[in-house]
Homo-oligomer: A and B are copies of this chain.
Amino acid sequence: MDSAELAELGQQLRVDGIRASAAAGSGHPTSSMSAADLMAVLLAHHLHYDFDRPEHPANDRFVLSKGHASPLLYAAYKAAGAIDDEELLTFRKLGSRLEGHPTPRRLPWVETATGSLGLGLPVGVGIALSGKRLEGSGHRVWVLCGDSELAEGSIWEAAEHASYENLDNLTAIVDVNRLGQRGPTRHGHDLDAHARRFRAFGWHTIEIDGHDVDAIDRAYGEARSTLGQPSVILARTLKGKGVADVEDREGLHGKPLEDADAAIEELGGVRDLRVRVHTPDVEGVPRSVPGGRLDLPRWERGEKAATRDAFGKALAALGTARGDVVALDGEVGDSTRTEFFAKEHPERHVECYIAEQQLVAAAVGLAARGWVPYAATFAAFLTRAHDVIRMAAVSGAGINLVGSHAGVSIGQDGPSQMGLEDLAMMRSVHGSTVLYPCDAHQTARLVATMAGLDGVRYLRTSRGDGPLLYGPDEEFPVGGSKVLRSLGQDDRVTIVAAGVTVPEALAAADALDAQGIPVRVVDLYSVKPVDRYTLRRAAEETGCLLTVEDHHPEGGLGDAVLDAFLDGRPVPRLVRLAVTSVPGSASPEEQLHAAGIDAESIAAAVRLLVEQAITP
Contact = CB atoms under 8 A, between A and B. Distances in A.
A572 interface: yes
Contact of A586 (B93, B201, B563): B93
A140 B473 CA distance: 61
B152 A153 contact: yes
Interface in A339-393: 339, 353-358, 380-381, 383-384, 386-387, 390-391, 393
B421 A182 contact: no
B182 A427 contact: no
A394 B148 CA distance: 31
B555 A354 contact: no
Contact of A554 (B92, B420, B559): B559
A487 B193 CA distance: 65
B380 A148 contact: no
Given A566-B576, A568-B609, A383 B386 contact: yes
A152 B357 CA distance: 9
Contacts of A562: 558-559, 562, 574
Contacts of A516: none
Contact of A384 (B182, B200, B333, B387): B387
A575 B567 contact: yes
A105 to B, nearest CB: 6
A159 to B, nearest CB: 9
Nearest to A572: B571
Contacts of A574: 562, 565-566, 568, 571
Contacts of A413: 26, 100-101, 115
A328 to B, nearest CB: 13
One complex includes copies of this chain to the number of 2
B528 A554 contact: yes
B152 A157 contact: yes
Interface in A155-201: 155-157, 160, 164, 180-182, 185-186, 196-197, 199-201
A518 interface: no
Contacts of A576: 566
Interface string A394-428: 10100000000000000111111100110011011
A212 B307 CA distance: 44
A416 B155 CA distance: 18
A331 interface: yes
A302 interface: no
16 contacts: A93-B585, A101-B415, A103-B582, A113-B415, A115-B413, A118-B354, A148-B353, A181-B334, A182-B331, A182-B333, A197-B201, A386-B425, A390-B421, A421-B425, A428-B552, A571-B574
Given A114-B416, A181-B332, 19 more contacts: A92-B585, A94-B584, A94-B585, A94-B594, A95-B584, A99-B584, A100-B414, A101-B414, A118-B354, A149-B354, A152-B157, A200-B200, A381-B387, A428-B552, A428-B554, A428-B555, A528-B554, A559-B562, A570-B573
